[in-house]
Amino acid sequence: MDPHVRNIILEATGASDLLKAETIQSLWSGYGSIDRYVLKGSEVDTVVVKHVRLPDRGNHPRGWNTDNSHQRKLRSYQVETAWYENWAGRCGDHCRIPRCMALEQRDDEVLMVLEDLDSSGYPVRKNRLAESGMIRCLDWLARFHATFMGEQPDGLWEIGTYWHLDTRPDELAVMDEGELKQAAPVINRRLNEAPFRTLVHGDAKLANFCFSDDGTRVAAVDFQYVGGGCGMKDVAYFIGSCLDESECERREASLLDAYFSALKEALALQRPHIDAADVEAAWRPLYGLAWTDFYRFLLGWSPGHWKIHDYSERLAHEVVSQLRAEAP
């Protein structure tokens, strides 16, 4: 183990010794790893260490080995560092995230020493949720969006989400020519100009939520693509990560009801000057655009992806038809 990295972990935790317990995850395209360490002589038993080490390029799992891809990843780690330095402290128990114990950037490395949510009461990861679990995650998103509504994303992505059009020219270029490709800039602009701008998590898939043993409490991880935007982008992406095609159609309305109900409660506590009914009136009609925005990315990035199905195609067709009807 790098002695410098070891010393940072020991100093941050007050531990006398440490042992690597496991690699939780290798970072996308060989950009490092997330590891769990067991500590000796510390008030905490374990920590999670995200260690980014920039590789030689040319190892992207889907072949996107371009400078755009590399620069986007570099920026994402800078954003995550800025998030933990300047923003994360405002997420209390109402939108739980891991506490950051140490940060360091040097040369081509980034090191983050983070609270181990497994040891803090959030040890469960899920690949399938009942509606009650989805509602708890939507509640987390509502509280997150309320916390940062009206903020400027200083140091973060100006427009959050990892599929934002301006950061994905390669994927747009390989899309088949057609109305959706032509409409992509309009969809992007509509979402970016939506009122009640907030911070979006930017990668709010089910895999980035952690649960208590009884499933009643939720925390979120992975803030590489946090930035400004409309909350519907997080909501549409999260719902799409949980449901198959038939469930999307059947449960869309009830899940949106649950999100806006939670948002109303969160705004009453954190932004009482903002009328939740006005936010819902502005955002709810944008759900289809938010879904279609991600669908546009998938068509260029991974045309055979399981999320490309009739529900997505129908929503995209409705969105494009509406935009065409509204065009001068």
pLDDT, one tens digit per residue, over 61-112 is 444 456 788 889 889 999 999 999 999 999 999 999 999 999 998 878 899 9
Domain boundaries, the chain: 1-120, 121-328
- C-alpha 117/C-alpha 158 separation (Å) is 28
Whole-structure pTM value: 0.95
State the CB neighbour count (10 A cutoff) for residue 257: 14
Measured in degrees and rounded to the nearest 5, phi and psi for residue 36 equal: -105, 135
Beta strands in the chain (DSSP E): 17-26, 32-40, 46-53, 100-106, 109-115, 198-200, 209-211, 218-220, 227-229
Q: Which two tokens stand for residue 81?
A: 């560092």
State the pLDDT at residue 202.
98
Q: Is 67 exposed, middle or buried (0-12, 13-18, 19+ CB in 10 A)?
A: exposed
pLDDT score, position 69: 85
Q: How far is CA 73 from CA 5, 29, 131, 225, in A?
A: 22, 10, 33, 10
Q: What is the pLDDT of residue 56?
A: 59
- Quote the pLDDT of residue 63: 47
Q: Which fold has domain 121-328?
A: Aminoglycoside 3'-phosphotransferase; Chain: A, domain 2 (3.90.1200)
In degrees and rounded to multiples of 5, residue 34 shows phi and psi of -115, 120
What is the rounded CA–CA span in Å between residue 13 and residue 24?
Answer: 20
Task: Give every residue of the chain whose pLDDT is below 50, as ranges.
Answer: 58, 60-64
pLDDT at 61: 47
- CATH code for the part of the protein at 1-120: 3.30.200.20
Q: What pLDDT does residue 64 have?
A: 46
Q: Are 103 and 84 in contact (CB under 8 A)?
A: yes
DSSP string, 76-104: HHHHHHHHHHHTGGG--GGGB-PPEEEEE
Collapsing DSSP to helix, strand or coil, 273 comes out as coil
